[in-house]
Structure 1
Amino acid sequence: MSHKPEPIFGTTLFDGDQAQKGYALNKMCYSFNSADNRNTFKADEEAYMLQYGLNAQQADAIRTRNVLGLIAAGGNVYYLAKFAGILGLDVQDLGAAQTGMTKEEFKAKLRAAAHQ
């Protein structure tokens, strides 16, 4: 018998369903481990997304640089960090976007939590 965990308000739980939903997106983001692939993406984002078979929701979130949209479309933050790197963002930028905070507010929250 499978038990679904209770949802956490304001978050998208990355579970098996989300993993399947985001397979193409996460596979594409994983490809950004290669500098050649990052350069190919930057040269023609549309062709690169087509190569990986992104659906309309995923492609639109890539085009608009909507991190929360990418998570909702099945993106795993570990793989999305590779995409964020192309944009000059880091994991703290992603965390801030997920929580609706500025990066400085998010960093302050992390520091406060570390001292508890």
Structure 2
Amino acid sequence: MTHTLPAIPGTVLFDGQQARKGYALNKMCYSFNAARCREEFVRDEDAYCARFGLNAEQREAIRARNVLQLIAAGGNVYYLAKFAGILGLDVQDLGAQQTGMSKDEFKAMLLAYAH
């Protein structure tokens, strides 16, 4: 029996197809757990992306620092957080970008939901 998830407008579901699509991107982001890899990326971003075989869509999203493009290109937010860390961003920055809010607006929304 196959279960179909309902479409959520504006949301890219990370499923098997997205996982395959984003394998190289997520593998590269996972490498950022190592400080030497983060340093290598900062030294020569294009060469580092090429080493992992990122496609044109993924490389453009990396250059643009666009989380929504990275997710559409197969990125998983948990791996993308490693990339964001290089840029001095945290998961709240990613959430703000995804929702089109400022970080302060995003944090206020989270606090409102918590209460």
Tell me the TM-score range normalised by the shorter chain: over 0.9
CA distance, structure 2, for counterparts of residue 38 and residue 4 of structure 1: 38
Equivalent residue pairs, number? 115
Structure 1 stretches of 5 or more lacking a match? none
User: What RMSD over aligned residues (CA atoms) do the two structures have, in Å?
Assistant: 0.7
One-letter amino acid of the counterpart of residue 21, structure 1 = K
Are residues 1:40 and 2:28 paired? no
1:65-99 deviations in Å (ceiling 9; x for gaps): 11110000000000000000000000000001111
Partner of 1:61: 61
State TM-score, norm by structure 2. Answer: 0.97
Structure 2 stretches of 5 or more lacking a match? none
Partner of 1:102: 102
Query: How big is the shift at 1:4?
Result: 2.1
After TM superposition, the structure 1 stretch with the greater mean CA deviation from structure 2, 2-11 or 24-33, is 2-11
Partner of 2:72: 72
Aligned identity (percent) is 72
Are residues 1:11 and 2:11 paired? yes
CA distance, structure 1, for counterparts of residue 29 and residue 83 of structure 2: 6
Query: How big is the shift at 1:54?
Result: 0.2
State TM-score, norm by structure 1. Answer: 0.96
